């Protein structure tokens, strides 16, 4: 398994870090087999696999449930788990309690939190208790309501400079990595150049130290809408649908199950049946 130190070396060497979300056992196993460097158990699972309209309804229990399945599927890959909506704000005691519970019960290697400002104190608290933290700046899906929707962030110099300050702040708070989401590529490039920690982009251009995508987006699995910054590297949903339609048609026309799928009892036993 790669460590935070290895990611630091990858940044220095210019080797791109590959991060992908996974929410279950088979996807985690495929991520590991496919050579993904970091698996993110993102709270995007709320939208992608639970069918919510946002990440807001996702609970700590949801993250633990999915995080444990991912850990079982990828024992040798660095796993970061998102802290869900409003669980790391206000009380530091509660932040520590929830963070430690998710970290311990999932067996994650890191936690991820959205934002800076007061959230930097949460980062510091978690790191001081021994939990590596991945920061997340730019578009913060848990705060979409406050940000006025799912929009590109840091488009003007003032907002961009604020984000550069936030990046310094989360690094100083002890974050081991930073995800920047949905920002102009020029800004993401500056953030990556200015930061000592690896910066992973999503919707942030090619100038970061690595890239992250949601598995269902890159694999073309599911019916959810896909943002502009995604490339569909496969059409696995269409393949799965082909399987489902084939199964239904074969059941209906009697071609499944066939002889090779059935079990047999001896004829003498059949003769003793009452029915």
- Give me the residues that bind ligand KIV (CB under 6 A), please: 21, 40, 42-44, 82, 179, 181, 202, 212, 214
Determine whether the annotation assigns residue 114 to a binding site.
Answer: yes
Determine whether the annotation assigns residue 68 to a binding site.
Answer: no
Least distance between ligand KIV and beta carbon 40 (Å): 6
Determine whether the annotation assigns residue 109 to a binding site.
Answer: no
Least distance between ligand KIV and beta carbon 36 (Å): 13
Measured distance CA(247)–CA(181) in Å, rounded: 40
Determine whether the annotation assigns residue 43 to a binding site.
Answer: yes
Measured distance CA(208)–CA(202) in Å, rounded: 9
- Asked if residue 73 lies in contact with residue 24, where contact means CB atoms within 8 angstroms, the answer is yes
Binding of Na ion by 138 (CB under 5 A): no
Least distance between ligand KIV and beta carbon 170 (Å): 14
Closer residue to Na ion in complex, CB, 23/221: 23
**Residues touching Na ion: how many (CB under 5 A)?**
3
Binding of Na ion by 82 (CB under 5 A): yes
Taking the CA of residue 85 as centre, how many other CA atoms within 13 Å lie in the half-sphere pointing to its CB?
16
How would you classify the pairing of strands 38-41 and 17-21? parallel
Residue of 33, 181, 260, 268 with catalytic role: 181
Measured distance CA(82)–CA(66) in Å, rounded: 11
Determine whether the annotation assigns residue 44 to a binding site.
Answer: yes
Is 32 assigned a catalytic role?
A: no
User: CA 86 from chain center: how many Å?
Assistant: 18
- Asked if residue 84 lies in contact with residue 59, where contact means CB atoms within 8 angstroms, the answer is yes
Token pair 């690896």 is found at 198
Binding of Na ion by 42 (CB under 5 A): yes
Q: How many CB atoms lie within 10 A of CB 6?
A: 15
Helix ranges (H only) for 183-235 are 185-194, 215-218
Closer residue to ligand KIV in complex, CB, 44/120: 44
Instruction: Specify binding-site residues.
Output: 43-44, 82, 112, 114
Binding footprint of Na ion on the chain (CB under 5 A): 42-43, 82
Active-site positions?
Answer: 181
């Amino acid at each position: 398994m790669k460590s935070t130190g290895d990611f630091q070396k990858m940044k220095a060497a210019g080797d791109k870090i590959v991060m992908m979300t996974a929410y279950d056992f088979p996807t985690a196993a495929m991520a590991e087999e496919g050579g993904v460097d970091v698996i993110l158990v993102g709270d995007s699972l709320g939208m992608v696999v639970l069918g919510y309209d946002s990440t807001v309804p996702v609970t700590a229990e949801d993250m633990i449930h999915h995080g444990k399945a991912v850990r079982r599927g990828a024992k040798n890959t660095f796993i970061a788990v998102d802290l869900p909506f409003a669980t790391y704000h206000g009380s530091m005691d509660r932040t520590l309690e929830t963070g430690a519970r998710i970290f311990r019960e999932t067996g994650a290697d890191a936690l991820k939190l959205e934002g800076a400002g007061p959230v930097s104190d949460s980062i510091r608290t978690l790191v001081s208790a021994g939990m590596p933290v991945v920061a997340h700046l730019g578009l913060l899906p848990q705060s979409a309501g406050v940000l006025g929707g799912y929009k590109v962030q840091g488009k003007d110099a003032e907002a961009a400079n604020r984000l550069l300050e936030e990046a310094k702040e989360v690094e100083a708070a002890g974050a081991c990595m930073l995800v920047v989401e949905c920002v102009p590529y020029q800004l993401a490039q500056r953030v990556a150049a200015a930061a000592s920690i690896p910066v992973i982009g999503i919707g942030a251009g090619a100038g970061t130290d690595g890239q992250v995508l949601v598995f269902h987006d890159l694999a073309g699995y599911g019916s959810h809408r896909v943002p502009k910054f995604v490339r569909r590297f496969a059409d696995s949903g269409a393949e799965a649908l082909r399987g489902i339609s084939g199964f239904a048609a074969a059941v209906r026309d009697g071609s499944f199950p066939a002889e090779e799928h059935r079990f047999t009892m001896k004829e003498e036993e059949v003769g003793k049946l009452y029915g």
